[in-house]
């Protein structure tokens, strides 16, 4: 049975953030509010937790998981970013975008796309997500909270509780989130490619 924390969306309670971080360090899977919809997150280096996360979402290893990072410097640690890419990222982070970039050796091979060696990365514009990333001192590995056979993400913590309280370890209630996922933009090639139109405006990328 999962725990359920009500955390203030603008001023997250440090005590609860620390407890949430400890659950993640112990291999837990957490439903986390973001600046788009809710996400399922876990530790980057915990293979068993990552496999469990994929099973809950009903996705295979060809589906990009996303690194939630604190800032641009963390993105640059886990992906190869040239000057052109950096300028585009700087203009759009933090925000409701996920970027596909070439993974560095910092990313475990099992987490990057098996044929392309790419990884999804984002910097969420959400106080709870940022407080948790700061407390952990490392990125979280996450995916949009869309249940198998569903088309739309979950954005209401009570709905998440009804559907997932027996299979994940913590639900963070930070209020209702947006109904749309992030916009996904592939920056791994010579020109940006729009993979999914979501909440973020693709126009700054010429798309």
Interatomic CA distance for residues 61 and 73, integer angstroms:
26
| Number of domains present in the structure of the chain | 1
Task: Confirm whether 206 is domain-assigned.
Answer: no
Confidence (pTM): 0.93
Checking DSSP bridges between strand 3-6 and strand 39-43, what pairing results, if any? unpaired
Sequential pLDDT tens for the chain (207 residues): 899 999 999 999 999 999 999 999 999 999 999 999 999 999 998 999 999 999 999 988 778 789 999 999 999 999 999 999 999 999 999 999 999 999 998 887 777 777 678 999 999 999 999 999 999 999 999 999 988 888 888 888 999 999 999 999 999 999 988 888 999 999 999 999 999 999 999 999 988
Q: Rg of the chain over CA atoms, in angstroms?
A: 16
The CATH number assigned to the domain holding 34 equals: 3.90.870.10
Please give the residue range of the domain that contains residue 165: 3-201
Report yes or no on 143 lying in a domain: yes
């Amino acid at each position: 049975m999962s725990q359920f924390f009500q955390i203030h969306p603008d001023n997250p309670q440090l005590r609860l953030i620390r407890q949430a971080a400890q659950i993640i360090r112990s291999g837990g899977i957490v439903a986390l509010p973001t600046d788009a919809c809710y996400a399922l997150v876990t530790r980057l280096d915990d293979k068993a937790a990552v496999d469990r996360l994929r099973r809950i979402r009903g996705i295979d290893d060809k589906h990009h998981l996303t690194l939630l990072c604190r800032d641009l410097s963390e993105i640059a640690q886990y992906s190869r970013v040239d000057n052109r890419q950096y300028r585009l990222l700087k203009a759009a982070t933090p925000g409701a975008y996920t970027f596909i970039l070439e993974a560095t050796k910092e990313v475990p091979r099992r987490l990057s796309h098996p044929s392309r060696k790419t990884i999804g990365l984002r910097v969420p514009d959400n106080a709870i997500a940022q407080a948790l990333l700061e407390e952990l001192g490392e990125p979280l590995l996450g995916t949009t909270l869309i249940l198998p056979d569903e088309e739309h993400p979950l954005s209401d913590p009570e709905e998440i509780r009804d559907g997932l309280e027996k299979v994940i370890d913590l639900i963070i209630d930070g209020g209702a989130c947006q109904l749309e996922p992030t916009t996904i933009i592939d920056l791994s090639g010579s020109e940006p490619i729009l993979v999914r139109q979501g909440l973020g405006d693709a126009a700054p990328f010429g798309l």
